[in-house]
Structure 1
Amino acid sequence: MKTLLVALDHTAAAEHTLAYANKLAVRWPAEIVVLYCHPKPAAGQPLAELRVQEQRLRGLVERLRYQQLTRQDGRRIQYHYRVLAGCLHDHIREEVLRCAADLVLMGLEHIDCGRQEAPGNHAAAIAKLVSCPLLVVPAGRRSLPKRMVFSADFRTLGLHILPRLAALEGAFPAPLDLVQFYAPADRPQRRQLKQALSKASAHLAWPFSATHLLEDDAPLEGIGDFCAHMQAQLLIIAPGSSEELLRFFDACYATTQAYHTRIPALVLPSAAERQPQVACCDRCAARLAQEAAPQLALANYHAVRWA
C-alpha cells in the first residue's frame, strides 16, 4: 500500500490540499497520513490541546470524505493522524521515514510555525528536508492532471531520480512533455543537450511522452509560457539547488499570478544530491577510481605548426 503524507494547517486552503490528496489516494490507490504541527500548545494542558486539534482534523477529513468522494471511494481510503507540538520543518524528516511516505503534499501558502511567508517559501524549505517527491498544491479546487510538463537541466540530472517519477505513473497516467531550456550562449552544445534529453526520456519510459529543446534566456518565464501553451495541469521540476527552487517560488511570480504558480508543482529531490557509486568488485573499484582521478591533458599535435 502506498502512502501519502499530507501536511495541513488550519487555513481555508488546507481543504483544497486534502481534496487533491483524496483524488490521488483513490486513483493510485494509497493511504493518507494527515500531519498537523501545532506551533505553541498551551503550557498548562498541551496534550488536551493537541487532542482538540486532532478532532478538528478528523472533522475536516470526514466532511470531505463524504462530500467530495463517492461512498465506496470514501470507505476505501485509510486515514491516519499525526498531531505534533512544534514546527513542520522540525518533524517532517522523521515523519517521512516513520510512515515510509511515497509522496508529501502541502499547500503553496502553507503556514509553518505560525509564520506566513511568501507563497512557496515554506515548501522550498521542506523540499530540502524530505527524501521523496513533494507536491505543492495552490489554493483552489483542481482535477487530476490530463497533461504534464517536466522541466529540468537534463545535463546534470541524476538518472537515479527518474525511477521516483516513474513510480508516480499510476497516480498521474497522463501525457508528459520533457522540456530543456538553454541560453543563447549554449547553442554550440545543442547536440549534447538533445542527447541528454533523449537519454532521460528513454530512461523514464513514460507511456506517452515528447521532448522539447527550447532556447530562452529567461528559463523561469519560459517554463510558465510553455505550460500555458501546453495547457498543463501539473509541472514537474528537479531543481539543482535550494536557491533555484526559491527563485521558482519568487514573490513576483505569485504577485503576477504566473501560470506555473497556479498549477500544482511536483518537486523531485534535488539533482545536486548524487548517490555515491558503489563498486561491486575489484575491477569496478579500479574503474571508478580511474574515472574520479583528474585526467591529464594530452598534447594536440594537429594544432602544432610544423616547419
Structure 2
Amino acid sequence: MKTILVPLDLTAASEHALLYSNKLAVRWPAEIVLLYCHHGPTPTTEETQVLEQRLRTLAERLRYQQLTRQDGRRIRYHYRVLAGCLHDRAQAEVARHAADLLVMSLEHIDCGQTDVAGNHAAAIIDLVACPVLVVPPGRRPLPSSAVFSADFDKLDTNLLPRLSALAKAFPASLQLVQFYSPLHRPDRMRLKRALEKARPQLTWPDITTHLLEDDDQLEGTSEFCARTQAQLLVVAPTSSALLRRLFDACYTTTRAYHTQIPVLVLRQPQPTTVCCERCARQAEREAIQQAIAVH
C-alpha cells in the first residue's frame, strides 16, 4: 500500500491539498497520513485529542462530500499531532511512514508564520527525500495533461523510476520538455539524445518530447504549460536557488500559470564538485545567466 503524507495547518486553504490527495488515494490506491504541527507550547493530552478529532472530522467531511460512498470508504486515514514546526518534523515523518509522496498547500503556514506563497513548500522540499506535490487553492480534477520540464542532460536518472511509480496516480499524457538558451544551440543534438534516452524509462502510455529554445527555462516552462493547458507540472530543480525561484513572489503575485496548477517536485542530489576547469567555467556562466534572469 502506498502512503501519502499530507501536512495541514487547519486553514481553509489547506483543505484543497487534502481534496486532491483523496483523489490520488482512490486512483493509486494509497492511505493518507494527516499531519498537524502545533506551533506554541506542547499540547496536553486533552488538547492533542481535540486536534486529532479536528483532523478526523475534516477528513470524514471532505471524503463524503467529495467522493462516492464506495470510494470514500476505500481510503484509510492516520492522524498525527506533533509539537513544533513542520520544517523540523517533516524529514522524520516521511521516514517514519515511508511516505511515497508528500502533498501540501501552496499557502501552507509553518510555525504560525505566513510567508510568500510557496516559500514554506520550498523549504520542506529541500528537507525530504520523497517527491513533493504543491497544490494551489481551488478544486481541480486529476490531470489529463502533464508537463515534465528538466535539464535532461544533467538529470539524475535514478529519479525516473520514482516518477514512473507515480504514473497510476496521475492518469495523464506526459510531455517531456527540454529548454536550451541561444548560447547552447551547438548542444542541441546532445540535449535531444538525453531527452530521448529518458523517454523509455518512464511508464506513461502517452509521452511526447519537445526541444525548445528560450533564454529562461522557468519562463519558457510556464508559457509552455499555459499554451498546452497543462494540469500538472513536474520539475527536478538542480539547486535550492532554482527551487525557490519557482515560487518567487514575482510569479505568485502575478499568478503565473505554473503557480495556478499543482507542481510535483523531484529532489535531485546537490552537486558538490566539478570534474574539470571547463565544467567550472560552464557552471559559472550558467549561474551568471540565472542571476540575470532573476533580476
TM-score using structure 1 length: 0.87
Deviation for aligned residue 1:221: 1.2
- What's the secondary structure of 1:144's corresponding residue? coil
Q: Give the Cα separation in 1 of the matches to 2:269 and 2:226.
A: 25
Corresponding residue for residue 148 of structure 1: 146
CA contact (8 A) 1:239 1:271 kept: no
CA contact (8 A) 2:131 2:265 kept: yes
* Greater Rg over alpha carbons, structure: 1
Corresponding residue for residue 103 of structure 2: 105
1:158-216 Cα distance to aligned partner (Å, 9 max, x none): 10010000000111121000001111000011111111111111222431101101100
Deviation for aligned residue 1:11: 1.3
CA contact (8 A) 2:107 2:118 kept: yes
Quote the sequence identity (%): 65
CA contact (8 A) 2:39 2:83 kept: yes
Corresponding residue for residue 12 of structure 2: 12
Deviation for aligned residue 1:101: 0.5
Deviation for aligned residue 1:273: 6.5
Corresponding residue for residue 84 of structure 1: 82
| Deviating 4+ runs (over 6 angstroms) | none
Q: Give the Cα separation in 2 of the matches to 1:205 and 1:102.
A: 17
Corresponding residue for residue 41 of structure 1: 41
Instruction: Provide closer, same or farther for how the CA distance between residues 293 and 265 of structure 1 changes in structure 2, counting only shifts above 3 A.
Output: closer
Q: How does 1:46-57 map to 2 (within 5 A)?
A: 46-57=44-55
Equivalent of 2:164 in 148, 163, 166:
166
Instruction: Provide closer, same or farther for how the CA distance between residues 14 and 293 of structure 1 changes in structure 2, counting only shifts above 3 A.
Output: closer
Corresponding residue for residue 253 of structure 2: 255
State the AA in 2 paired with 1:267.
Answer: V
Aligned length: 276
Q: Give the Cα separation in 2 of the matches to 1:49 and 1:212.
A: 53
CA contact (8 A) 2:3 2:101 kept: yes
Instruction: Provide closer, same or farther for how the CA distance between residues 153 and 37 of structure 1 changes in structure 2, counting only shifts above 3 A.
Output: same
Q: Give the superposed CA RMSD.
A: 1.7
Corresponding residue for residue 285 of structure 1: none
1:126-154 Cα distance to aligned partner (Å, 9 max, x none): 01111110000001101000000000011
Q: Give the Cα separation in 1 of the matches to 2:155 and 2:49.
A: 44
> Any unmatched runs of 5+ in structure 1?
275-291, 295-307
Corresponding residue for residue 223 of structure 1: 221
> Any unmatched runs of 5+ in structure 2?
277-295
